[in-house]
Amino acid sequence: MCGIVGYLGKGYAQAPLIDGLRRLEYRGYDSAGVAFHEGNEFSLARETGRVKNLADSVQKNSSSSSLGIAHTRWATHGAVTVSNTHPHMSQDGKFVMVHNGVIENYGILKKFLVSKGIKFSSETDSEVLCNLIAYHYSELPTGEDRFIDAVRLALPQSRGAYGIVILCVDYSDTMIGARRGSPLVVGLGEEANFIASDASAFVGRAKEAVFLNDGELSIISGKNFRITTMEGEEAKAVAHPVEQISEEVELGDFDSYMEKEIFEQPTALENTLRGRFGDDGTTAKLGGLEGHEDELRNLDRIIFVACGTARHACMVGEYLIERLARVPVEVEHASEFRYRNSPKAGKSLVIAVSQSGETLDTLEAVREAKTKGLLTLGITNVVGSSLARETDGGVYQRVGPEIGVASTKAFSSQACLCAMLGLALGRMRDLSPTDGQAIVQALNDLPDLVTKVLQQGEQIRELAIKYSKAEHLLFLGRQSLYPVALEGALKLKEISYAHAEGYPAAELKHGPIALINPDCPSVFIVEGSSLSSKTIANMQEVKARKGPVLAIAPDNVEIPEEAVDDIFRLPVVHEVIRPILANLPLQLFAYHFARLRGLDVDKPRNLAKSVTVE
Ligand code: G6P
């Protein structure tokens, strides 16, 4: 994996392909490559490092081809080297292919191909699949469908996940894409057609996008395009306009997408909330849940499945939903849920949360839940994503594209939707109208309160300057602020590479306290409840061991001077929105901390925005 873009059109392929890769850079990668159809052969350029390196190298040897494929690779099989970089060419030079995903049985397939005399030049599973297609091609009689038939013979032999785009040297105006588990989208334009892993690759160049389903192939031939099943039956192509996303992916006046997305949160949350409250002002009305009211009213258990930041938002949901709706809630790492034989106790609802809607671990957890006959709902930001299509119902986050690898605005909207879900479920059960009304009011106040907190960004920058030499930090919070501690630590390590751990504040004394010394600061996220005195006692335990303490605390919580070195104050708010507000200074802290270290916050090392492998 990571980013794919293929071009077939009237003009030169070079510029749109390199531009497409640039637009996919946000997904994270460690090398990039491009291949052009040059009549009787393919030309190939591949570089480790940034797309810029590839662009410079391609510039020196410009191609006038109008058919090509390009890829940014995030290493799975084999090190970050030029030979492992995509596109891969079959040994006979007949095919070039780019691939996202993992071919799990590539070892067996490789053995078979080696026995046929095929030699490999990379360590990748992708080169194996490319050669398998070439092998079938060599065995087929000449004919119009030979290319597509070879693809159709090879793909069912591979186990695992793929999104591929492949070219054959004998077909100068055909590009084939195929999907199982890894997203692919066809872009239809007047001058050219595209196949990419993400519609942002062809924004401004294609008018409509058609998302492929698992098991589908897209065949672009000259100006024509069709989608078929693996067996060759025509499949339905539903086109979505792409213009709507073009402006949202521009950086504007900001230095990085992460900064832009942090400051976009008031608007993002307004969009998440808009039109989603009942007329009587006491409950939330989530359209995607309509038709499931009876099932929701009679639930015995909710299981959230998610990864990374999205899982932390689910953990916020766990505390809020249990409190508001009195339904038992569990939060599982999606990757664990999938293989765990969790008993099917009573009527369970599985809610999968994923910004991209394409995280493979999360999708597989949903598929497992469906196999067990459980109702599944999705919370996702990407319209038409696999998660949106595969769940029984769900809710869109509506925060616009999130480009920064470190998730920020998506977390806030996911936590907000969890609170709304808690409210809706609570009102279906025993939450009073008065309590419902107070929560609706709090949620409606959220965008303005977020603006207010973000306006104090300069104070956070100063705190980041003070603490930015630290190589180890602890983040501590209780109840719904415990996931915020986890998220604060995750954000910091993702983009600054400092070592940070999140813990429930009381857990400090059960181990992590051994780490405390003058070089290991602790960030306490203090709740505005009766528990705050206990958290302050934990802060004092740190201070007693000469550990620096930074507190993020509501205005009305008094903290003795001897318990803290620095305090960032938050407005006093309803508990349902407290985690969202408390997380904002931690986003900014991580952002400034990383910037002070001269790091590129949008492209942290080794990370990918959307992880489409297990
Ligand atoms: C990757 C990203 C994380 C993200 C996680 C889940 O690991 O680096 O930032 O939280 O995937 O992504 P999703 O799209 O499913 O929310």
Whether omega for the bond prior to residue 16 falls within 30 degrees of 0, making it cis, is: no
Q: How far is the CA of 402 from the centre of ligand 1 (A)?
A: 11
pLDDT of 611 reads: 79
- Relative to beta strand 301-306, strand 348-354 is parallel
Q: How far is the CA of 359 from the centre of ligand 1 (A)?
A: 7
pLDDT of 244 reads: 58
**Phi, psi of 196, deg, nearest 5:** -140, 170
Which atom of ligand 1 lies closest to the CA of 308? 10
Question: Greatest CA span in the chain, whole angstroms?
Answer: 83
pTM: 0.81
Mutation probe of ligand 1 site: the residue of 197, 307, 316 with most atoms within 8 A of C-beta? 307
Q: How far is the CA of 355 from the centre of ligand 1 (A)?
A: 7
Domain regions of the chain by residue span: 2-247, 251-454, 456-601
Among 486, 484, 525, CA closest to 502: 486
Among 343, 350, 384, CA closest to 367: 350
pLDDT of 514 reads: 92
pLDDT of residue 1 exceeding 80:
no
- 433-454 and 409-428 helices cross at what angle (nearest 10)? 170
| Residue count (the chain) | 614
- At residue 442, the 3 state secondary structure works out as helix
pLDDT of 260 reads: 95
Residues with CB under 6 A from ligand 1: 307-310, 354-356, 359, 362, 405-407, 607-611
The verdict on whether 609 is a catalytic residue reads: yes
Mean pLDDT (whole number) for 329-351:
89
Place of tokens 């591949």: 46
Q: How far is the CA of 406 from the centre of ligand 1 (A)?
A: 8
- Cα 484 from chain centroid (whole Å): 18
pLDDT of 15 reads: 95
Which is the catalytic residue, given 2, 130, 307, 314?
A: 2
Beta bridge partners of 474: 501, 522
pLDDT of 614 reads: 73
pLDDT of residue 342 exceeding 90:
no
User: How far apart are alpha carbons 294 and 304 in whole angstroms?
Assistant: 20
pLDDT of 23 reads: 87
Q: What is the pLDDT of residues 273-305, one digit of tens each?
A: 999 998 899 999 988 888 888 889 999 999 999
Beta bridge partners of 195: 6, 186
Percent of the chain exceeding pLDDT 70 equals 99
DSSP state of 143: S
pLDDT of 247 reads: 54
Mean pLDDT (whole number) for 311-317:
98
Torsion angle of C-alpha atoms 241, 242, 245, 250, degrees rounded to 10 = -160
Residue 470 burial (10 A CB sphere; 0-12, 13-18, 19+)? middle
- 308-325 and 409-428 helices cross at what angle (nearest 10)? 20
pLDDT of 78 reads: 80
Among 583, 509, 591, 600, CA closest to 547: 509
Asked if residue 39 lies in contact with residue 46, where contact means CB atoms within 8 angstroms, the answer is no
pLDDT of residue 579 exceeding 70:
yes
Note the CATH number of domain 251-454.
3.40.50.10490
Average pLDDT over all residues of the chain: 93
pLDDT of residue 436 exceeding 80:
yes
Q: According to the per-residue pLDDT averaged within each range, which of 76-90, 387-401, 452-466 is highest?
A: 452-466
**Phi, psi of 137, deg, nearest 5:** -60, -45
Q: What is the pLDDT of residues 114-167, one digit of tens each?
A: 999 999 999 999 999 999 999 999 999 998 899 999 999 999 999 988 999 999
Give 456-601's CATH code, choosing from 3.30.460.80, 3.40.50.10490, 3.90.950.10, 3.40.50.2000: 3.40.50.10490
CATH architecture for segment(s) 2-247: 4-Layer Sandwich (3.60)
Q: What is the pLDDT of residues 410-420, one digit of tens each?
A: 999 999 999 99
Between residues 160 and 187, which one has the greater pLDDT?
A: 187
Beta bridge partners of 68: 7, 36
pLDDT of residue 385 exceeding 80:
yes
Does the fold of domain 456-601 match that of domain 251-454?
Answer: yes
